[in-house]
Amino acid sequence: MHVQQELKDVKLWQVHTLVKGLEKIAASADIPMLVCGDFNSIPGSATHSLLAAGKVDPMHPDLQVDPLGILRPVTKLAHHLPLVSAYSAIGRLGVGLGFEQQKRRIDPTTNEPLFTNYTRDFIGTHDYIFYSADSLTIESLLELLDENSLRKDTALPSPEWSSDHIALLAEFRCKSRTKHSLGIGFPGEKKKIKKSAGTSSKE
């Protein structure tokens, strides 16, 4: 999905409407969930907090501007979906030189990439892949780009990269379920799901 860029109240309302709709689906269907896209929201924003933490601090500064009252009461800004940001898992995936390089491209204060959008006017994170941690586990993640490799062309897009956003991609495996909890299938059945910004596939 792509979220409204300028108005923080509209941005948060859009995501709140999305997660409440997903909660209704989750209540009637035991299925894995992926929520991903350009949320035009940095880590620590109210929108990111709602997705990553399941709630928004009532004193969050993003809530101060709500001229139409679309965010009231602020206590409604919560959900119970077990969503986790995929790239926050880099530190748990393994050890070695490659993993250490990737960890350095993660902000230790937010556990999100240092940037997913790299332009002349803005360098930061707006893009996320959230997944339901109770039903999916991460198999692999696409490497994050090194900032030094982007500086040679000043910013994105560039002759090498056609978008001002870097690509994010995650491969997931469905956690084993019992026949009773699935409704169909057999115990131990597993499927792989690949998710990127625009496409998904199952194996």
- 197 or 154: which leads in pLDDT: 154
- 197 or 93: which leads in pLDDT: 93
Is residue 1 one of the residues assigned to a domain?
no
d(CA 65, CA 191): 44
- 62 or 202: which leads in pLDDT: 62
Is residue 99 one of the residues assigned to a domain?
yes
Distances (CA, A) of 18 to 125, 136, 198: 20, 20, 18
Is residue 70 one of the residues assigned to a domain?
yes
Q: What is the pTM of this model?
A: 0.83
Question: Phi then psi for 55, rounded to 5 degrees?
Answer: -160, 170
Q: Tens of pLDDT along 61-103? A: 999 999 999 999 999 999 999 999 999 888 666 656 678 888 8
Can you give the CATH number for the domain in which 66 is found? 3.60.10.10
Show the domain range for 118. Answer: 8-174
Is residue 202 one of the residues assigned to a domain?
no
- Quote the pLDDT of residue 58: 96
Count of beta carbons in the 10 Å neighbourhood of residue 102:
19
Q: Tens of pLDDT along 118-173? A: 999 999 999 999 999 999 999 989 999 999 989 888 899 999 999 999 999 999 99
Is residue 22 one of the residues assigned to a domain?
yes
Handedness of CA 183, 186, 187, 188 (dihedral sign): negative
**Total of domains in the chain:** 1
Average pLDDT, the chain: 86
d(CA 141, CA 164): 20
Is residue 181 one of the residues assigned to a domain?
no
Is residue 134 one of the residues assigned to a domain?
yes
The beta-strand segments (E) located in 115-162 are 117-118, 123-124, 127-132, 136-141
d(CA 129, CA 151): 25
Q: Tens of pLDDT along 38-58? A: 999 999 999 999 999 999 999
Whether residue 34 contacts residue 138, with contact meaning beta carbons closer than 8 Å, is answered with: no
Is residue 182 one of the residues assigned to a domain?
no
